[in-house]
Amino acid sequence: MKRYLTLLFLLFLCAPVISQPKTKQLLPPVRKGGMPLMEALDKRCSTRDFTDKDLPEQTLSNLLWAAFGINREESDKHTAPSSNNNQEIDIYVVTAHGAFKYVPKGHLLELISDEDFRSVCGEQAYVATAAINLVYVTDLSRTDQKDLTAEPLASYSNVGFISQNVYLFCASEGLGAVIRGWINKEALQEKLQLKPNQKIILSQSVGFPKK
């Protein structure tokens, strides 16, 4: 019996450890208030000069919910439309404190890496300074597109809706934002640990603008 228990103990020690993804619960989004829509449209612009100040936790929560959060819990529908309701767009959030995947259902962040690789999110120098870089990724396994080499045109439209939400939120909150396509997608794909069916569409830098 003692030998049997010893064997079980050794097997337990040698068994592979199955790590669970580390998640961070975001603060509940504030879904009231903000600048009137017409004023936000009037102030909407692209910013290319950022400070390195972090976004407050509440601001980050509100931003991600505004971008593509769930606004109709009974049907899991989002703040931005999606072609054929595929909901194939994922938002990756790259910060000075690591990279995360935004999970709208539950409104949380899933840790991808604890490395600061903001500079990989674009070829422009300011991407390494902006508080966050939102990387918009399409998961073609959620669509009927079989050819992974073809351009996912519908996904570009869907990212356009999301990124405009971000622009308007930033205008309302006094933040800067800019959408970008100049990216070394292969390098960033590796950093984000994406699968072959996941394709980077665009990235958007967000942060406090320099005065």
pLDDT at 11 over 80: no
In the block, which residue shows the tokens 């003692």?
2
Residue 78 sits at φ, ψ, to 5 deg, of -110, 175
Angle, helix 153-173 to helix 57-68, in steps of 10 degrees: 140
Domain ranges of the chain: 21-207
Cα separation, 62 vs 45, in Å, equals 19
Classify domain 21-207 at the CATH topology level: NADH Oxidase (3.40.109)
Cα separation, 189 vs 168, in Å, equals 28
**Residue 10 structure tokens:** 């050794």
**Residue 145 structure tokens:** 């597109």
The 10s digit of each residue's pLDDT in 48-96 is: 999 999 999 999 999 999 999 999 999 999 999 999 999 999 999 999 9
pLDDT at 150: 87
The 10s digit of each residue's pLDDT in 102-155 is: 999 999 999 999 999 999 999 999 999 999 999 999 999 999 988 888 889 999
Cα separation, 133 vs 177, in Å, equals 9
